[in-house]
Structure 1
């Protein structure tokens, strides 16, 4: 039996978790030899529940292993163990590293180029959606892979933005890779694979889906990435769980500031106060990795190439200076009438220069 099949066999047995496999590895030198042990030798393994030992004995069969492999093959699911060459390099050394991963797509992209996680709220605002898409696309255009969790909201737009660029996107699931959740993202999952990306999970084909799966998979999102970008997050958010894993793993943490009146900005502002790097543009990210963007010195739009009136330019510079402004504040700063300002703002939003947030508040589209 190959090592990868030994891990698959154990992972498929009811009651055996990733941590249980770690304990078994501490009991025997070669994990692939476990299936050859006598029942008595299996029952003598230390620090393992007796029920789990009974299950190991019960399923100590190559026929059982073949049935699992047949199911995976039918669903076109590949698998790789922690001791194989193609296993994600960054993931090997995290706490509770998955002993086996299941995937569809090109797993080699995990070890190619820099991969950055982009995560955030499922209840994304228009501002957050725009930021997630734009940041992911601009990073992808530089060959950086974007990693996220295929959830509704920020995750989805991170994947979409990446596919508009040259990088590849990686979706980490809290369910098996043949059971795409949420169902409405099945189309997006297929597009990721068509685009040469990767869908990956540490959950086997027979695994049930529990709420805890999603928090657990976040260690993989952060584990395979070089850094984590939080676009929008409430105070209590799954994105912040990813940040916690990232901090434990020594990853760079970035956050996009938002509207101070929006609950979707509270999580980002919290981690900025705690030391996360505030992102004004992607140069703030690239500088951390000493990546030079040769296409432009700033990653703001080249507004000089857009046919804009002097009033439009004045509004752009005002917002650029202040960051985020309400329409009334724009009027106060520019001393222009609200009717004119409203018309110009609508034009700039249509031209994708500005992003309209909640309650007639505007920011530059970075």
Structure 2
């Protein structure tokens, strides 16, 4: 038995947790030797309760291991252990690092390029959705991978914004990879794989699903990332659990500010007050890492060469200088009639030059 199969075997035994595996590893030098120990030697293991020892003895069989591997093969699920080459480098050194990961897709993505996590509310507003789509798409165009949790809301839009770009998207689940939850995101999971992305979990196939799984998986979302972006979150949002893990792991935390009167912005505004990096655009993120990427310049639109008329260019330049503007503010700044401005804005949104946010508010799509 090799190391990866030893971890798989242990992970599949009823009652054994990731922490139990770490304790067993401390007991013996070579974890792959465990299956060959005598019953007495297993019962002599320290800091492991009797029930777990009994289960190890009960399932001390290569036939049991072969059955597990066959089940994984039927589901087209791969696995990798913490001691293997290719295991996520960023993940190895976090507290309670998963001993084994189960996945579908390209596992090499976790050690490739730059990975940023994007998380937020399940009850996303139009503002939050537009921010997630805009930032995710821009980062993906620069070849940056986007990580999220495949939940409804901001997570889903974070994944979708990355698909088709130069970056890939990684979904970390709180359920086994053969049991996509929520069910409505099965289609999205398939699109992630078709695009060359990755679906990842530390839960073996057919494992029971507990509410605590989703909080625990957040340590992986932040663990494999180089930083965490919070797009929209209420004061007690689950996304803030990911922030806690990120801070514990020494990762940068970015937050998009929101309306001070919006319940869904309370979480972001709170962590900004506590030291999260406020971001208005992707440059705020790239500058933090001192990323000098020629692709960024190539992907920023040269609006002067898009064949737009001078009124359109004037509106674009106004928004570029001012940031996010309401249609009334655009009229005030350009001294143009609202009817003309409205028609131009509609055209620019259709051409993917601008993004329309809440209540006729517009920002550049860069």
Q: 1:333 to 1:260 in 2, by over 3 A?
A: farther
CA contact (8 A) 1:100 1:202 kept: yes
Contact residue 116 and residue 228 of structure 1 kept, 8 A: yes
Report the 3-state secondary structure (helix = DSSP H, G, I; strand = E; otherwise coil) of the residue aligned with 1:60: coil
Q: How does 1:10-49 map to 2 (within 5 A)?
A: 10-49=10-49
Q: Deviations over 1:68-102 (max 9, x none)?
A: 11111110111111011111111000000000000
* Structure 1 position 355, deviation (Å): 3.0
Q: CA offsets per residue over residues 81-124 of structure 1, 9 Å max, x none?
A: 10111111110000000000001111112111111112222222
SS in 1 for 2:264: helix
Quick check: 1:202 aligned with 2:188?
no
1:259-293 superposed Cα distances (whole Å, 9 cap, x missing partner): 33333322222222222222222222222333223
Compare 222-231 and 140-149 and name the one that shifted more.
140-149
Q: How far is the alpha carbon of 1:317 from its aligned partner? A: 4.7
**CA distance in structure 1 between the aligned counterparts of 2:78 and 2:295, rounded to whole angstroms:** 38
Q: Which runs of 5+ in 2 are unaligned?
A: none
Q: CA RMSD in A?
A: 2.3
2:142–2:296 CA contact under 8 A, matched in 1: no
Secondary structure, in 3 states, of the residue corresponding to 1:122? Answer: coil
How far apart, CA to CA, are the structure 2 residues paired with 1:107 and 1:155? 20
Q: What corresponds to 1:56 in structure 2? A: 56
Assess, with a 3 A threshold, how the Cα gap between structure 1 residues 357 and 68 changes in structure 2: closer, same or farther.
same
Partners of 2:34 and 2:4 lie apart in 1 by 13
Contact 2:150 2:171 in 1 (8 A): yes
Is structure 2 residue 351 aligned with structure 1 residue 356?
Answer: no
- State the distance in 2 between where 1:357 and 1:286 align: 23
Q: Which residue of 2 aligns with 1:118?
A: 118
Alpha-carbon distance in 2 for matches of 1:42, 1:139? 50
1:321 Cα shift? 4.5
- Identify the range of structure 1 (338-347 vs 124-133) with the bigger mean alpha-carbon deviation: 338-347
Equivalents in 1 of 2:328, 2:218: separation in Å?
Answer: 41
Asked whether the 8 Å contact 2:189–2:199 carries over to 1, the reply is yes
Which residue of the partner structure matches residue 109 of structure 1?
109
Relative to the length of structure 1, the TM-score reads: 0.91
Structure 1 residues 260, 317: CA separation in 2 closer, same or farther (over 3 Å shift)? farther
Q: Quick check: 1:18–1:96 contact (8 Å CA) kept in 2?
A: yes
**Match in the other structure for 2:268:** 268
Contact 2:174–2:217, Cα closer than 8 Å, also in 1 = yes
Q: 1:116 touches 1:227 (CA, 8 Å); kept in 2?
A: yes
Distance 1:212 1:296 in 2: 39
Report the CA distance shift for 1:130/1:301 in structure 2 as closer, same or farther (over 3 A).
farther
2: CA distance between counterparts of 1:21 and 1:247?
25
Q: Distance in 1 between matches of 2:344 and 2:194?
A: 40
Task: Note if 1:242 corresponds to 2:216.
Answer: no
| TM-score after normalising by structure 2 | 0.91
- The alpha-carbon deviation at position 333 of structure 1 amounts to 5.3
Unaligned runs of 5+ in 1: none
